[in-house]
Structure 1
Amino acid sequence: MREVFQQELREVQERLVEISGFVAVSIENATRAFNESNVSLAESVIADDDKIDAAAQELDELAINILARQQPVARDLRIVVSALRISASLERMGDMAEHIAQLARYRFPDKVVPKSLRPTFASMGALDVEIARKLVELLKSEDVAIAEDIRNTDDKVDALHLSVFDKVLGETWKGEAIDTVDATLASRYHERFADHAVSIAKKVQYLATGDWIPADA
């Protein structure tokens, strides 16, 4: 019976890795669609979000089934409960990628943001892709060094996010109202994508070490 339970826990981890892989592909395609004004790629991201949602729901059902049948305790219980919370964060990361793709589709054939902000968004997108790839490795290995790396990379995303606000609120900003709205939304989506990854990293770090990282750390 214990062997079956351990196999189910391994399946939970494998499914988390699979979903994080879907999310990594989604954000990579979404940022490309956003930066290149690629409507077909944007539409593929939007369509593929259903796959992420379905995979997350299936994982949740597995985890709830394990809780009901196995009644795990101690670390095993933390693993299953954490999986439910990580699944929710991965689903939200997929939503953020979808929102970025939707902006690209809505503004096609134009690009979403003015020329002056495009390098900033290219950098922000590249960092989100980097974070997503690191998250896949973190969920595979539970290597706390990767968790720290994700948090450090998130700091760079936050700095770029603030720079977008400084730009659109500055006296030299000449964008139209729609440009301001689009830039603000897009920046927020990128920033929230990274924030959800940090939330996952903290949970994995806790599982690996037993030490909880405060929300503001």
Structure 2
Amino acid sequence: MRSVFHDQLEQISDGLVELSRLASEALGRASTALLEADLSLAEQVISDDEKIDALRRQIDNDTIDALARQQPVATDLRQLVTTLRMTSDLERAGDLARHVAKLTRMRYPDHVLPAELHPTFAEMAQVAEQMVLRSGEIIATLDTQGAAELKAQDDTIDRLHRAVFGILLDERFHGNTQLVIDATLLSRYFERYADHAVSVATRVVYLVTGGWNDDIDPDDRSWREHEAVAPHEVPRSEL
């Protein structure tokens, strides 16, 4: 009976990894559609968001079923409760990719952004997409160091977010009000998308150590002292 429960936990973990892959793929496609004014690709991102929603519902249902039937304690309970928060983060990341695609569709056949903003948004999209994909790897490997890694990448996103405002506020920028609003919204979408990746990684730290590390300093290794017990506390077969 216990082995069946462990198999169920493994399946839930695999679902989370797949959810991160789908959310990452959605942002990659949405970003390409945005920068190339590709209506067909934008429509695909919008319609495929249902796959992310359906997988989120499946994982949540499996998690609730495990909670009800197995009455887990300690690490198993932490995993299941944390899973419900992770699915929310990853599903929301997918929604943000859909928002990018919807704005692309709304402005088609025009480009949403002027050429001078393309390099900044292209970099922001690449970093954010990699962050959510990396969050899936962190889930799969219980990599507590990954949280610090994503926090450092989130600083890059924040810097690019500020750079967008710097361009929009520059007196040499002559975009109209609609363009400024669109660029501001898009920048916020990417910034929030990256925040969800950090949130997932932070929950992995909680899962492994039993403690929260919301304000992780990537250059401070002291918080990693719990890692020494992590492999014994959470066997891979139980994730």
Structure 2: gaps of 5 or more residues: 218-239
Work out whether 1:184 is the aligned partner of 2:200: no
The amino acid that maps onto 2:158 is: D
Q: Aligned residue for 1:171?
A: 171
CA distance in 1, matches of 2:57, 2:209: 28
Q: What's the CA shift for 1:146?
A: 2.4
* Alpha-carbon shift at residue 168 of structure 1 (Å): 1.9
Q: How many residues align?
A: 217
Q: Which moved more, 1:163-172 or 1:135-144?
A: 163-172
- Give the alignment of 1:72-87 within 5 angstroms: 72-87=72-87
2:159 maps to what in 1?
159
Q: Which residue of 1 aligns with 2:64?
A: 64
Structure 1 outlier segments of 4+, above 6 Å:
none
Q: Secondary structure at the match of 2:147?
A: helix
Aligned counterpart, 2:90? 90
Report Cα offsets for 1:176-199 as digits up to 9, x if no partner: 010011000000000000001100
Aligned to 2:14: 14
Contact 2:24 2:129 in 1 (8 A): yes
Q: Is the 8 A contact 2:148 2:216 kept in 1?
A: no
- What residue identity is the alignment partner of 1:83? T
Deviation at 1:133, TM superposition (A): 2.2
Deviation at 1:215, TM superposition (A): 5.0
2:147–2:216 contact (8 Å) kept in structure 1: no
Q: TM-score, normalised by structure 2?
A: 0.87
Residue deviations 1:104-134 (CA, integer Å, cap 9, x gap) = 1111222111222111111111111221221
Q: CA deviation digits over 1:196-216, x for unaligned, max 9? A: 110001001222233311258
- Counterpart AA for 2:99: H
- How many percent identity over aligned positions? 44
Distance 2:148 2:214 in 1: 13
Supply the distance in 2 between the matched residues of 1:168 and 1:204 (Cα, whole angstroms).
37
Match of 1:102 in 2: 102
Q: Which runs of 5+ in 1 are unaligned?
A: none
167-176 vs 93-102, greater mean Cα deviation: 167-176
Of 133-142 and 188-197, the range deviating more from structure 2: 133-142
